[in-house]
Structure 1
Amino acid sequence: MKYLASIAAGLLLWCAALSAQGLTPEEVRADVRCAANWFRGYDYRSVAAAPKAPPGFKPFNISTYARHGARLYSKESLYDQMHKLLSEASRKGQLTPLGEELYRKSEAVYDIVRGRAYDLTPYGQEQHRVVARRIFKSWRPVFRGSRKIVARSTQTNRTILSMAAACDEYRRLDKRLDIQFDASAADMGILNPTSKYNPRAEERDWSRAFEADTARWNPSFNALWEKNLDPGRFFGRFFTEPQLVLKVFKTYINAARMFYFYLCFSETLGPEESLMYLMDPDDAWKMWECENFRMYSCCGATPLYHGRNWALEEALLRDFVKYWEEDITESGVAARLRFGHDYKISGTLVLLEAEGWDHCEPDPEKVCRIYDFGHMPMASTLLFALYRNSRGELLVRCTLDEVPQHFPIPCYTDRGGSRAWNDFYRWEDFKAHCLKRLELADKILETT
């Protein structure tokens, strides 16, 4: 229940809009948890409600791609390293009062997190139950009657359990729903296009290649860390002798990154377990800036890869288009739910040329102004809704975590041009835009 209460209460959403916007030091000073970036939980400001549609139009289908819910850090060694470092320093009297507080808080959850690298947390499961409830309430007409939900997931425990939590919640909300779900290798190249399962992806395209120390962004990334990190200032908050961290970590930068991840990932246990309050806001923002640049370089509109990193998401976009066409012809499917990973959301929005997502910034120190990877928090959900009127006209609306996304095509206008509906697009225009962008993606993949 405490997870439900935490989510229902909500966190402070640090960005009112999800486009053309980074994160400022002032925002982090107001709420240091903003700097937890993509480790934070899914959040909403308002109660779930159906968006107002043009007169005569009713939703009949939704299609989503959701990031898995909150999960633990990818390497179990981090929890063991922090346990070793803090416990030894505490025993020798080498922790400051703030360091002792970090140690006490860490020990309280050590037995919970050890041995569970990458695992979805109970909070992460509850996040997807909340998402399902909000979607069901907001799009109630889509689910009326004995309709079908088709859910697919990548083959990782965290995504499969996220899918299971969501499907279980939909079944609880309406037992008449026919819910089908799958996690097949056959879908891996679609739901995770930057993987070995995608025949168009070469080994250099796999996610781990983009993240490797040999990646093209790494020299600029290291330079940014060198500029931003003051080891004495940061580690001096926790240790009487900052150099103690070098007993466990190779360098000060490596230690600072691991401390940042450790504090940020405390968010995945639930807001009440967050350790972000222990960070100085200015240090937190500088660390966010470095890691945000890294993520932009992996799946944003960076010039480093000439578009290849996001063009690979064409496999996912083709899947959307394929099933939109099928569902428009009365397939009986109310919702198609996809469960995967954060990179795919960012890359797909760049591919679709969504407003703000396609900014190409060559200067590492300016990326913070135009991009915040925190816009893909845990359980983040990209949703497309299809609408139809009695004349058979079709509209499309896209949201990311309930915030409308906009594209460089004409929005729907009432007959006679009396009113423009900025969040709605004619199906014909939107499909043509998708096909145009897919053609561009093909050219990029053929020439890079």
Structure 2
Amino acid sequence: MGRPVVCQQRARLESGDPHRRHNAFGMGVAEKAPRTRHHVNTNSQKYKTMKRLLIGLFALTCLTGYSQKARQEIAVTPAKAGGVYYAYPVTESDNTPAPKGYTPFYVSHYGRHGSRYLISDKDYAGVIDVMRKAHEAGSLTPLGEKVYADLLRVWEEAEGRGGELTPLGARQHHDIAQRMYKAYPQAFAKDAEITAASTQVMRCAHSMFNFIEGLKELDPSLTIPKESNARNMSYLCHSEPPSWDFNDNKGRLQWKPEYNRWRGGKVNPERLLSSLFNDSRYVKENVFADELLWGLYWIAVDMQNMETEAEFISLFTPDELYDLWEVINASFYITNSSYPRSDGLNVDNAKNLLRNILDTADSYVDNGRHGATLRFGHDGNIVPLAALMRFTGCHGYSAGLDDIADVWQSYNISPMASNMQMIFFRNKQGDVIVKFMMNEKETAIDMPSDIFPFYRWEEVRKYFNETIDTPSIEFCPKELRQ
């Protein structure tokens, strides 16, 4: 399979997709993890039959599910136009009582870092520089002057903090941890074995520290070893060269031309610029219109993650805001999730992480241990994981650019501090059941359960072992593939 590749670019990107900053594409790279043992009987007729039946059912569910009305949702809550910049919305988690006789004993977790500043100081400074020069030339409208003054206030907070966790991001993880502890105290009881690991990016490490602080405020006696080093990158932040090739090199031929034409029909900066500048000739000679539009958009949608009280979303009409979100949502889906023409390559990147989740859970289940495994990474890791696990609403299939928003919305799947939790319960007879939480809301996987939202662990384990052994593209309806 070739030599392992060390993660090279994750520190400069959120998930290896810089499109959300500069409307470009590319993938970071991550070390290839060694193979692990667990194997499943891929000839099992039971699971093959179940898979075929559920593929069609789930595809239909995605097309008619809760996430069909993105335009209306964004109109009601404009902050959702931030997509993966949407500030974590949950303040209370779901907690359906377990069946009689079952108590929680283990939590398996993966969380994206919390709210952050834009990736680079340049994302603020570039926009401010354009506005400053126009201000000095007397080419700003009264609205433009207000925007410039507000940007200077934003810069007071953001300068030198590009890519870092914001105070809100710290609070998010602190609070998620405390809700977890209070909902499943038995998992954190005396002698609990808890571990925490993050990617090497500081905003992830700081998220982990704040999460642990939230736990230890409730029980100072907890011992929680933590790591943020290269040792765990092979599963926390993994991607393979074929996915980079699809997202970048092959993408120039396979999907980017169509995407760029589609995007061009949705992005028009003229109205916005005419509201900010009083001299069209100045704009023509001095302003890169598309760049300023996108720069203002990113600042606008990230303000919900900062402490400074300033607002820029109202610069955009509802239709403009939706269109900008839609083109970013489509690009993120294509390069991170279950886009049919990607041959499943981006979803397959999460298999090392799912293998780690299964193997670690086995060690708790088989040895009678209790505790939690806490993992911290990026949106470009949790998005393919949720698609691989086929959580409801997290892996819709669409080959048409205009239809992606109907089946897949980034703000529902990976807002800031998004997280996946598996809560394990057992009874006195040693039977183990598990439930799945996406952003602290109970969710379903596409296999039947007569005790939903709970599933029998042995069935889940077999199902996910088969998932790992099966190319992800095989779960996509054939008529949507290349």
TM-score after normalising by structure 2? 0.79
2:192 is equivalent to residue 155 of structure 1? no
| Partner of residue 402, structure 1 | 440
Tell me how many residue pairs correspond in the alignment.
411
* Letter matched to residue 265 of structure 2: K
SS state at 1:61 partner: strand
SS state at 2:423 partner: strand
Q: Hey, what's the Cα distance between the residues in 2 that align with 1:436 and 1:210? A: 29
* Letter matched to residue 389 of structure 1: N
Cα distance per residue 1:192-215 (max 9 Å; x no partner): 112xxxxxx22x534995599848
How do residues 258-273 of structure 1 correspond to structure 2 at under 5 angstroms? 258-270=295-307, 272-273=309-310
Cα distance per residue 1:337-388 (max 9 Å; x no partner): 0000112212112112223333221111111111111121111111111011
| Partner of residue 387, structure 1 | 425
Provide closer, same or farther for how the CA distance between residues 407 and 309 of structure 1 changes in structure 2, counting only shifts above 3 A.
same
| Partner of residue 153, structure 2 | 108
2:319 is equivalent to residue 289 of structure 1? no
Gaps of 5+ in 2: 1-63, 475-481
* Letter matched to residue 84 of structure 2: W
Given that residues 399 and 405 in structure 1 are in contact (C-alpha distance below 8 angstroms), is that contact kept between their aligned partners in structure 2?
yes
2:454 is equivalent to residue 424 of structure 1? yes
Q: Hey, what's the Cα distance between the residues in 1 that align with 2:283 and 2:234? A: 41
2:264 is equivalent to residue 226 of structure 1? yes
2:376 is equivalent to residue 335 of structure 1? no
| Partner of residue 393, structure 2 | 356
Provide closer, same or farther for how the CA distance between residues 211 and 147 of structure 1 changes in structure 2, counting only shifts above 3 A.
farther
Provide closer, same or farther for how the CA distance between residues 31 and 352 of structure 1 changes in structure 2, counting only shifts above 3 A.
closer
Provide closer, same or farther for how the CA distance between residues 384 and 249 of structure 1 changes in structure 2, counting only shifts above 3 A.
farther
Q: Hey, what's the Cα distance between the residues in 1 that align with 2:245 and 2:368? A: 34
Name the stretch that deviates more: 205-214 or 112-121.
205-214
Q: 1:308 aligns with which of 345, 352, 356?
A: 345
2:122 is equivalent to residue 84 of structure 1? no
| Partner of residue 89, structure 2 | 43
SS state at 1:431 partner: helix
Provide closer, same or farther for how the CA distance between residues 353 and 179 of structure 1 changes in structure 2, counting only shifts above 3 A.
same
* Letter matched to residue 229 of structure 1: V
Gaps of 5+ in 1: 1-17, 195-200, 414-420
* Letter matched to residue 82 of structure 1: V
2:196 is equivalent to residue 166 of structure 1? no
Q: Hey, what's the Cα distance between the residues in 1 that align with 2:366 and 2:109? A: 19
Provide closer, same or farther for how the CA distance between residues 90 and 442 of structure 1 changes in structure 2, counting only shifts above 3 A.
closer
Deviation at 1:31, TM superposition (A): 2.6
* Letter matched to residue 224 of structure 1: W
Provide closer, same or farther for how the CA distance between residues 79 and 23 of structure 1 changes in structure 2, counting only shifts above 3 A.
farther
SS state at 1:390 partner: coil
Provide closer, same or farther for how the CA distance between residues 266 and 246 of structure 1 changes in structure 2, counting only shifts above 3 A.
farther
2:180 is equivalent to residue 135 of structure 1? yes
Name the stretch that deviates more: 354-363 or 51-60.
354-363
Q: 2:67 aligns with which of 21, 31, 53?
A: 21
SS state at 1:179 partner: coil
| Partner of residue 466, structure 2 | 436
Identity of aligned residues (%): 24
Cα distance per residue 1:303-328 (max 9 Å; x no partner): 22100111121000000000010011
Provide closer, same or farther for how the CA distance between residues 382 and 242 of structure 1 changes in structure 2, counting only shifts above 3 A.
farther
Q: Hey, what's the Cα distance between the residues in 2 that align with 1:356 and 1:151? A: 28
Q: Hey, what's the Cα distance between the residues in 2 that align with 1:169 and 1:255? A: 40
Report the RMSD for the aligned CA atoms in angstroms: 2.6
Q: Hey, what's the Cα distance between the residues in 2 that align with 1:94 and 1:351? A: 51
Deviation at 1:26, TM superposition (A): 2.3
TM-score after normalising by structure 1? 0.85
